[in-house]
Amino acid sequence: MGIEMTFEIDGQLSSKRVLEILKANGFVEYEQLDSGFCAFHAESRLDAYFYMKEEPEAVLAEGLIPPKWKCTFRMTFRFSKDNYQASEFETMKFSRALASQSPAYFALSFQYENVFAIRDERGYREISDTTATMQTPV
C-alpha cells in the first residue's frame, strides 16, 4: 500500500527551481510529464510528482484557516510503508530546503488530512503533533 504526502505550493516558485532543489537533495531519474515532471530518490525509494494547476485554487489541506495564498503547484511524494522512515526523512528534508531556498508559501500534508509543515507569512513551521490542528491567522 502506498503513502502520499502532498505539498501545495503558491506561485512564487518556478518548476525549474523545484527541480534544482530536488536534485540538490538526492533526487534523480527525471521524467517530463504533460503538466510537470516526476523524480525518484534512490536511497529512500521515494517518488516525487510535480504538476502545475491550470488556475490557482484553494489549499485543500484540512485544519488550516483558509490561507490568503492559492495553490499553483502540487507535488506529491509517494512511497511504500516498508520505506516509511527513510521516505518521511527525505520528505521533511526537502520541506526544509524548499523553505530555506525559496520564497514560496506551502503546506505539506499527509493525504490532505494531517499538516506536517507550513510556510506562510509567519515563516516555516513543522508540526510535531500531527493530531493537533494547525491554524494560521486570518
Average pLDDT of the segment spanning 1-11 = 90
User: Residue 16: which pLDDT band, with cuts at 50, 70 and 90?
Assistant: confident
Query: What is the residue-averaged pLDDT of the chain?
Result: 87
The domain spans of the chain are 2-126
User: Residue 58 in contact with residue 6, Cβ under 8 Å?
Assistant: no
Which of 54-63, 97-106, 121-130 ranks highest by mean pLDDT? 97-106
CATH code for the domain defined by 2-126: 3.30.70
User: Residue 134: which pLDDT band, with cuts at 50, 70 and 90?
Assistant: very low
* 105 against 66, higher pLDDT: 105
User: Residue 39: which pLDDT band, with cuts at 50, 70 and 90?
Assistant: very high
**Which residues, other chains included, contact 91 with Cβ-Cβ below 8 Å and sequence gap of 6+?**
5, 46, 77, 108, 116
User: Residue 86 in contact with residue 80, Cβ under 8 Å?
Assistant: no
User: Residue 130: which pLDDT band, with cuts at 50, 70 and 90?
Assistant: very low
